[in-house]
């Protein structure tokens, strides 16, 4: 049974701070790791993906992967109120289906 675990939150940070979202996964064969942002009532939006150990940066977002620890994280720098959403972590093997966590709710206060 493949599992992806996330803290449900809410994670509350003030505007301008760094938000750190964490995710662990159970399947050591997982190869691809994704972060989706989901606003209430909307569908998931892909914001970051990472395939190799280390860090990957895109604008204000940094994804970090540690396969040995089966851990992936998402850092959001200079958090904005518009970043308030649920962040879903997902993993897969090759082109297979994604296994999602339940998501972490992020609240950024002005």
Partner 1 sequence: DTGVSQNPRHKITKRGQNVTFRCDPISEHNRLYWYRQTLGQGPEFLTYFQNEAQLEKSRLLSDRFSAERPKGSFSTLEIQRTEQGDSAMYLCASSPGGGSYEQYFGPGTRLTVT
Task: Say which residues have a Cβ less than 8 Å from residue 8's Cβ, sequence separation at least 6.
Answer: 102, 103, 104, 105
Stretch that binds partner 1, among 36-44, 52-60, 61-69, 70-78 (CB under 8 A): 36-44
Q: How many residues bind to partner 1 according to rule CB under 8 A? A: 25
Task: Say which residues have a Cβ less than 8 Å from residue 94's Cβ, sequence separation at least 6.
Answer: 31, 32
Binder to partner 1 among 32, 56, 67, 75 (CB under 8 A)? 32
Residues that bind partner 1 (CB under 8 A): 4, 31-32, 34, 36, 42-46, 49, 51, 88, 90, 92, 94-103
């Amino acid at each position: 049974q493949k599992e992806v675990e996330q803290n449900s939150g809410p994670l509350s940070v003030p505007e301008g701070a760094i938000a750190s979202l964490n995710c662990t996964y159970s399947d050591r064969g997982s190869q691809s790791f994704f972060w989706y942002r989901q606003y209430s009532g909307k569908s998931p939006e892909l914001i970051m993906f990472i395939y190799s150990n280390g860090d990957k940066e895109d604008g204000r977002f940094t994804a970090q992967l540690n396969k040995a620890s089966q851990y992936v994280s998402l850092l959001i720098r200079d958090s904005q109120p518009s970043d308030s959403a649920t962040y879903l972590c997902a993993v897969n093997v090759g082109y297979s289906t994604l296994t999602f966590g339940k998501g972490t709710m992020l609240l950024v206060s002005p």
